[in-house]
Amino acid sequence: MDSVWNFIVSVLELGNFAIIKVLIILSIILVMVAYLVYFERKISAWAQNRLGPNRVGWKGVLQPFADLLKLLLKEDIVPDKSDKKIHAIAPMIALFVALSTYAVIPFGPSLQLFDYNISLVVADVNIGILFVLALTSIGVYAITLAGWSSGSKYSLLGGIRSSAQMISYEVSMGFSVGGVLLLAESLRPVAIVQAQSGWMWNAILQPIGFITFVVSAFAETNRLPFDLPEAEPELVGGFHTEYSSMKFAGFFLAEYANMIIASAIIVTLYLGGWQIPYIEKLGLSAVVVTILQVGAFLLKLFALLFFFIWVRWSLPRFRYDQLMNLGWKVMFPLSLINIIWVAALIMIFNL
Amino acid sequence: MQEKPVKRRNKDLSFWEKLYIPEIVKGLSLTLRTMFKPKFTMEYPEVKFEPTGSYRGRPVLVQEENGVERCVACGLCSRVCPALAIEVQAAETELEKERYPEKFEINMIRCIFCGFCEEVCPEEAIVMSKDYELAFSNREEAIFGKNKLLMPVNQLQDRIDFLRQYK
């Protein structure tokens, strides 16, 4: 009995309780996605002088579960002309990318609990940011393959637009991250957060980089004003025109999970991660500080998610040439200027 | 000859508009303000819309306090109805009005709520009520006979006052 117990504990201890953290984060993300959809509908309704879903449960709080049940019970239609295997794999790639990126995002400092030193990040790897950039690039494959394998011209156009858009915006995204890396002198997300102690948030030190990164993040997550791959009026839903039932739900889930990831990365890179400025001067106990800091991280995350939804219901969609103009002629030079600005900061103030 | 001044077209954006950001902030502030405005939605099955006297709901027959309908079965409403929705069959009665409708049917699938029947009625016997909840599960159900059409006069006072003032 004792040996079994020891074995279980040793498995759980693997990689600093990685299994437990993965399970917790996965369930939190799935619940957050469900409620993100709910709040998307609510906020869109409020912005348009409506009430929004309010029939299922108190004020409609059970609406996401009703939606999910509906999607699960729908018939799964696969078009005759589609490439069946790739058609099935595409939503899985989207989900895989959306859920695995979260592994490197730190949501709190390390926690002292029962003689264990638990760091509140699944994988504290020293190439964290590179990992994120690599995975988000794989995310493009999900959309492009979905569009290509559907055997429909609308889907194909959506998929191609998506890949073109991602390539243009990934460049400025990478260069804006460059500014952050110069200041933090590390690719480790935890180190980047620690480098932003006090009010040394990257959003304040390099506002241009912050703006270019946020705009690129909008483009990467295919949210309005850059949701050209789906563009309902012209492409009838774009890459997911030919998807139904659970495969469609996969894309749906991935889109919202991507929004959470993008917000979490923005918080980590530019808004000081879990840090609350000057909290150490209040003289609170370590556990309380940790809880407050995790709370601060979530608060920043929710504020950004609200911003994502708010922008979607305020701005019109860009035309395709405007999108490319903005990407290559505005965002790209701006992110280069940002790198020079950061280099100058480092030279002058020896940061 | 004087040259016409060049008209600036609306699509030419000014410098600030080309920067996008001030315009984006404008749009965002507008939607944020709208979010906190009071909503006017009536949550229908719980809260019902109470129309005023000018509302033209389903046409009904006025029933006096003694339980007799005002209608004298002259057939004018049936004659004027543009949708041919009304069917009247007259019969004699011992009462002062001498004639009464033996059968009075309105097909609510055909009715277009124009109010001509009410306008043409010499006895103020058919008026438009405030009832707007009309849903049927089959066609037979939609033909309203006298049992469904009769409505006590005190429930129709708003409409009758409106008619006396404006008709």
% chain A with pLDDT above 70: 95
Subunit contact B34:A46, Cβ cutoff 8 A: yes
Mean pLDDT of A15-39: 83
- Asked if the model's pLDDT at residue A58 lies above 60, the reply is yes
- Asked if the model's pLDDT at residue B1 lies above 70, the reply is no
Contacts of A310 in chain B (CB under 8 A): 28, 31-32
List the single residue in A50, A54, A311 with the smallest CB-CB distance to B28.
Answer: A311
- Asked if the model's pLDDT at residue B7 lies above 80, the reply is no
Check residue A115 and give its pLDDT.
Answer: 66
Check residue B80 and give its pLDDT.
Answer: 92
Residue of B nearest to A42 (CA): B35
Higher-pLDDT residue of A290 and B55 is: B55
Mean pLDDT of B29-35: 88
Phi, psi of A65 (to 5 degrees): -70, -35
Phi, psi of B126 (to 5 degrees): -120, 125
- Please, which pLDDT band fits residue A16 given cuts at 50, 70 and 90? low
Phi, psi of B101 (to 5 degrees): -80, 115
Check residue A297 and give its pLDDT.
Answer: 87
Contacts of A48 in chain B (CB under 8 A): 34
Please state which of the ranges A157-161, A229-233, A312-316, B128-132 shows the lowest mean pLDDT. Answer: A229-233
- Asked if the model's pLDDT at residue A284 lies above 80, the reply is no
Collapsing DSSP states into helix, strand and coil, what is residue A344? helix
Residue A54 Ramachandran class (φ > 0 left, ψ -120 to 50 alpha, else beta) = alpha
Please state which of the ranges A71-80, A111-120, A173-182, B113-122 shows the lowest mean pLDDT. Answer: A111-120
Longest dimension (CA), chain B: 91
Check residue A1 and give its pLDDT.
Answer: 65
Please give the DSSP secondary-structure letter assigned to residue A211: H
Q: Report d(CA A216, CA B14) in Å as an integer.
A: 25
H/E segment holding residue A238: none
Check residue A145 and give its pLDDT.
Answer: 87
- A275-292: b or e for each residue (b if 16 or more CB lie within 10 Å)? bbeeeeeeeeeeeebbeb
Please state which of the ranges A178-182, A346-350, B51-55 shows the lowest mean pLDDT. Answer: A346-350
Q: Report d(CA A15, CA A318) in Å as an integer.
A: 45
Q: List, as one string, the DSSP characters of A113-173.
A: ETTEEE-SSS---TTHHHHHHHHHHHHHHHHHHHHHHTT-HHHHHHHHHHHHHHHHHHHHH
- Please, which pLDDT band fits residue B9 given cuts at 50, 70 and 90? low
Contact A142, A99 (CB under 8 A): no
Per domain, the residue ranges of chain B are 59-166
- Asked if the model's pLDDT at residue B26 lies above 60, the reply is yes
Q: How many CA atoms lie within 13 A of A169 on its CB side?
A: 26
Residue B48 C-alpha, separation from nearest chain A C-alpha, in angstroms: 17
Residue B25 C-alpha, separation from nearest chain A C-alpha, in angstroms: 10
Check residue A90 and give its pLDDT.
Answer: 87
* A57-61, A277-281, B18-22: which is most confident: A57-61
- Asked if the model's pLDDT at residue B28 lies above 60, the reply is yes
Q: How many pairs of residues across A and B have Cβ atoms under 8 Å apart?
A: 33
Residue of B nearest to A52 (CA): B41
Residue B8 C-alpha, separation from nearest chain A C-alpha, in angstroms: 22
Subunit contact B24:A47, Cβ cutoff 8 A: no
Per domain, the residue ranges of chain A are 76-349
CATH 3.30.70.3270 fits B59-166, yes or no: yes
Residue of A nearest to B46 (CA): A55
- Please, which pLDDT band fits residue B39 given cuts at 50, 70 and 90? confident
- Confidence (pTM): 0.81
Taking all residues of chain A, what is their mean pLDDT, rounded to a whole number?
Answer: 83
- Asked if the model's pLDDT at residue A72 lies above 80, the reply is yes
Residue of A nearest to B21 (CA): A211
Q: What ipTM goes with this model?
A: 0.73
Check residue B2 and give its pLDDT.
Answer: 67
Which residues are within 8 A (CB) of A327 and not within 5 positions of it... i.e. 6 or more apart? A165, A168, A169, A171, A172, A219
Check residue B8 and give its pLDDT.
Answer: 66
Q: Considering only CA atoms, which of A269, A267, A270 is closest in space to residue A297?
A: A267
- CA angle A7–A11–A14, rounded 5-degree value: 140
